[in-house]
Structure 1
Amino acid sequence: MSFYGFARSIVYGILKPFYRIEAIGRENIPKEGGVLLCANHIHNFDPPVVGIMAPRPISFMAKEELFNVPVLGKILPHVNAFPVKRGMSDREALRTGLKVLKEGKVLGLFPEGTRSKTGELGKGLAGAGFFALRTDADVVPCAIIGPYKAFSRLKVVYGKPIDMKTLRENKASAEETTEAIMQEIRKLIERYKKN
């Protein structure tokens, strides 16, 4: 078993029962080929929660500071995370993200760039649109519907891949494309929050 698989099984065994996590729409993640998975961001545990419930390994961009944290910084590269400098255009992180998608792997992103303090969906940054337009990866929206409270039930909803054809043909901007992705995440939140 790979380190990723080992770490995933341990984290799954802890978080899934503790937050009573329910995954919906796992079948919407294509079994092969590049996938850009875009989720809302409400808690520090979002990356492991999205990762353990997905049917394929995910490479997440993580803020650079986390790689300086003792122990965690050593583990992150082994669970497919790579650093991104926040608040500036990080060419190295963009190159790494494109490489992940072009190699037919899954890239996980939180387009808001930071955790929502209110739990409400914020504005997405252009990065998600950049990756969606620069590759032919499938773009899958994901909604994390809380709260993160012990034994209270947390939902992770993977939506159907977004039809990117029109946006790509019309040469939409990265900002417009990100907004289209955020709309799909918003629809998932509204649809599954009630259930």
Structure 2
Amino acid sequence: MNWLYKTCKTGAYLYYKLFFKLEVEGIENIDLSRHYVICANHLNLQDPFVLGGLLPLEARFMAKKELFKFKIVAAFLRKIGVFPVDRDANDLKAIKTALGILKADQNLGLFPEGTRNKGYMPLPVKAGTAMFAIRTKTPVLAITIDSYYKFRKPLRVVFHKPVEYSEYYDQKLEPEQYETISQEIMNRIYSQLKYYKQK
């Protein structure tokens, strides 16, 4: 874990611990000796900072290419392990980067919906989450972020039990099959919302 990542992680944790009613569930489900495809719902711009601060392991996150428009921001993001993806195209470079991260036994972080969701049901997702997990034989660590991000209000983060899709390993799946599995993962994430539904 490089010094910048560690500093940002510590700062984010302290911020959310001090200014929100932080609730963390399922942290015991994470085996620190393993690596994961990490995926979460996306409700707010703060979601990546929450994950960065609360995950007990280091992860490299995929983020929309628009965040890399400015050189200073791009340099910072790359320094903490974030890499760009073109959400409007079949970005082969980003796909190869993601697969390479997992093959190197590192953690890959994703927001499968690709954009913020202002509703209570998951948005349609693409094949990526399941495809990355199955092709590299990596378990999926699903995370529910549950908050309206109001000062001193609940911020609940649920770490689900990791799931391995070993029944699909070494099989040739169609894109639609990967999409179905990815959508099932998102459905499980949204099934754990509690506070977000009480607006």
1:20: how far off? 2.8
Q: Residue 38 of structure 2 contacts residue 141 of structure 2 at CA under 8 Å; is this kept in 1?
A: yes
Corresponding position of 1:36: 37
Query: So what's the TM-score if we normalise by structure 1?
Result: 0.89
Query: So what's the TM-score if we normalise by structure 2?
Result: 0.87
Q: Residue 32 of structure 1 contacts residue 104 of structure 1 at CA under 8 Å; is this kept in 2?
A: no
Corresponding position of 1:182: 186
Corresponding position of 1:130: 131
Corresponding position of 1:55: 56
1:23: how far off? 1.9
**RMSD, aligned CA:** 2.3
Give the direction of change, closer, same or farther, for the CA distance of 1:103–1:192 in structure 2 (3 Å limit): farther
The within-5 A match list for 1:133-152 is: 133-152=134-153
Q: Residue 129 of structure 1 contacts residue 174 of structure 1 at CA under 8 Å; is this kept in 2?
A: yes
Farther off after superposition, 185-194 or 169-178 = 185-194
Unaligned stretches of 5+ in structure 2?
none
Give the secondary structure class of the aligned counterpart of 2:163.
coil
Q: Residue 11 of structure 2 contacts residue 53 of structure 2 at CA under 8 Å; is this kept in 1?
A: no
Q: Residue 34 of structure 1 contacts residue 102 of structure 1 at CA under 8 Å; is this kept in 2?
A: no
Q: 2: CA distance between counterparts of 1:69 and 1:16?
A: 30
Give the direction of change, closer, same or farther, for the CA distance of 1:192–1:148 in structure 2 (3 Å limit): closer
Q: Report the AA paired with residue 17 of structure 2.
A: K
Q: Aligned residues, how many?
A: 194
Give the direction of change, closer, same or farther, for the CA distance of 1:70–1:118 in structure 2 (3 Å limit): farther
Identity of aligned residues (%): 35
Q: Report the AA paired with residue 15 of structure 2.
A: I
Cα offsets for 1:125-167 (capped at 9, x unmatched): 2111221221111111110001111110111111001241234
